[in-house]
Amino acid sequence: MNTNHSESENSELKLFDDSPIQAEPFQVEVIRSKKRRRTVSAQMHGDVLRVSIPSWMSKAEEATNIAEMVRRFKRKIATQEVNLTDRARILAKRYSLHTPNDIEWAENLTSVWGLCTPSTKTIRMSTRLVGFPSWVLDYVIVHELAHLHVSGHGPDFWEITRRYEKTERAIGYLIAKSGDNETDLD
Ligand SMILES: [Zn+2]
């Protein structure tokens, strides 16, 4: 008897739900510091995001900086809720794909949703996927896993990627989200 069986089945069920990767709200505390000359910093203390701001900053600059920090921390918290390693492992097994050596969130991926480096078998996922349904996230993972087998986007690549049932639907979703920006998968 394999005692892990029911556990892995449970985690597979969660893969196809429609729940977005949620960002929970939290409180913000602003500290205006005379010592702080140039940079804005932020740290979570329990449920409170404490933002330190140089005292010379205008209210408008303060608001812009706080909004940026809140956005960044919400993404960070939301991405921590998602176990990319488990998800990639389950998807790789289901679609007979290689398992990556490493798969991590990246804040600095701005022009692509995901990035695969086949030489090191590593995958980076854009934190801008936060708020998207999990079946879209899974498509991006499968897309990048497929690059562990095939580079480029030829027919052999799509043959592998379309093992994932929601590939077309997810592509449509991502195109709609990209708008005029040239956000694409690499
Ligand atoms: Zn690609």
Q: Which of the pair, 150 or 15, is modelled with greater confidence? A: 150
Q: Domain boundary at 45, 80, 115, which?
A: 80
* C-alpha 65 to ligand 1 mean position (Å): 34
Give the mean model confidence (pLDDT) for residues 86-108.
95
Nearest CA among 121, 138, 117 for reference residue 129: 138
| Span 48-57, pLDDT tens digits | 889 999 989 8
Q: Which of the pair, 40 or 19, is modelled with greater confidence? A: 40
Q: Residue 90: is its pLDDT beyond 60?
A: yes
Are 103 and 170 part of one and the same domain?
Answer: yes
**Percentage above 90 pLDDT, the chain:** 47
* C-alpha 92 to ligand 1 mean position (Å): 16
Within-domain flag for 9: no
Distances, alpha carbon 40 to alpha carbons 43, 45, 127, in Å? 11, 16, 21
Domain coverage including residue 103: 84-178
* C-alpha 58 to ligand 1 mean position (Å): 43
Give the mean model confidence (pLDDT) for residues 12-40.
66
Are 118 and 74 part of one and the same domain?
Answer: no
* C-alpha 116 to ligand 1 mean position (Å): 8
Alpha helices (runs of H) in the chain, residue ranges in sequence order: 5-15, 59-80, 84-94, 134-146, 155-161, 167-178
The reported pLDDT for the residue numbered 35 is 79
What pTM was computed for the model?
A: 0.73
CATH number where 154 lies: 3.30.2010.10
Are 116 and 143 part of one and the same domain?
Answer: yes
Are 58 and 73 part of one and the same domain?
Answer: yes
The reported pLDDT for the residue numbered 178 is 80
The reported pLDDT for the residue numbered 6 is 35
* C-alpha 144 to ligand 1 mean position (Å): 6
